[in-house]
Amino acid sequence: MRAETLQPEALDHRSLGVQRRERRIGAAAFGDRIDGELPAELGGLANVAGLPGTFPAELVLRVNVLGLRHLTEAVVERLVPGSAVVNVASVAAVRDPAPRELVADLLDSATFDAGLAWCLEHPLDAPAAYRFSKQVLIEWTLQASAAWRRRGIRVVSVSPGVVDTPILPDFRASMGDAAIDAATAEAGRLAEPDDIAPVIAFLLSCDAGWVNGVDLRVDGGLVGSRLALPAATPAAPGAP
């Protein structure tokens, strides 16, 4: 199996804060790098890196789903009992979701290359690819939690709402100012990274030892307010 990697020229590496890498990394080299850079035992894994919907759809799916799954499966043997994997998804996953059968079809592609071939056979525009990638990630989280729980490894996902980060303009460009402004108004404010990071830290900790196979929305109640049944209008004071 040969793991595909991002084409460096397709990325604005200064905005992503990563170094430019000219070479593609095969499966053997990928394994060697893991052996050389990671300890033999890991107490947890937070999959935080991702691309917004301003990047080409194929790259979005490579990074947000295929690469994340490939990395996690490559290091799972290093995760000790009692450890956890936390995947950062998004509340965008609940916006116009794809049929679950389509998600299952992609997840049936067991390798990186097979998953990439599936993505190329099912083209999406970039904003739709972002939403779909996060929907797939949440479903894969459930699969992995069921597969690894007897090893004592928990797998959960976190779905933030609108967060004030350097890629917020990308989300405005791909989702539209109106959608971002409406979500921010409903939540009450933009989230800060410090609103999300402690939740991830908690889920990685032993204090969350009985939390497994769930997607936790960290959105200030945005999705909950949209899903809530209408509340009855309270009677005015003194009304019969």
Give tens-digit pLDDT for 224-240. Answer: 999 999 887 666 677 66
Alpha-carbon torsion, ordered 224, 225, 231, 237, to 10 deg: 120
Does residue 57 lie in a domain region?
yes
Can you tell me the distance from the alpha carbon of 119 to that of 15, in angstroms, rounded to the nearest whole number?
26
pLDDT at 142 over 50: yes
Does residue 199 lie in a domain region?
yes
Report the pLDDT value the prediction gives residue 211, as an integer from 0 to 100.
98
Report the pLDDT value the prediction gives residue 133, as an integer from 0 to 100.
98
* 105-140 pLDDT per residue, tens: 999 999 999 999 999 999 999 999 999 999 999 999
Alpha-carbon torsion, ordered 119, 17, 138, 76, to 10 deg: 90
Report the pLDDT value the prediction gives residue 127, as an integer from 0 to 100.
97
DSSP at 95: S
Location of structure tokens 């209008």: 233
Q: Which residue numbers are catalytic?
A: 130
Location of structure tokens 């989300």: 171
Does residue 10 lie in a domain region?
no
DSSP at 235: P
Q: State what percent of residues in the chain have pLDDT above 70.
A: 83
Does residue 11 lie in a domain region?
no
Report the pLDDT value the prediction gives residue 235, as an integer from 0 to 100.
64
Residue 30's SS3 state is helix
Does residue 157 lie in a domain region?
yes
* 4-63 pLDDT per residue, tens: 333 333 333 333 333 333 344 555 566 667 777 889 999 999 999 999 999 999 999 999
Burial bucket for residue 59 (CB in 10 Å: 0-12, 13-18, 19+): middle
Range of the domain at 100: 42-223
Can you tell me the distance from the alpha carbon of 129 to that of 68, in angstroms, rounded to the nearest whole number?
15
Does residue 186 lie in a domain region?
yes
Does residue 2 lie in a domain region?
no
CATH code of the domain containing 64: 3.40.50.720
Select from 144, 133, 114, 136 the least CA-distant residue to 2. Answer: 114
The number of domains in the chain is 1
Report the pLDDT value the prediction gives residue 35, as an integer from 0 to 100.
75
- Please list the residues that pair with 160 across neighbouring strands: 218
Report the pLDDT value the prediction gives residue 25, as an integer from 0 to 100.
52
Does residue 229 lie in a domain region?
no
Alpha-carbon torsion, ordered 57, 62, 68, 71, to 10 deg: -170
User: Which of 4-8, 158-162, 205-209 comes out lowest in average pLDDT?
Assistant: 4-8
User: Which of 11-20, 74-83, 112-121, 203-212 comes out lowest in average pLDDT?
Assistant: 11-20
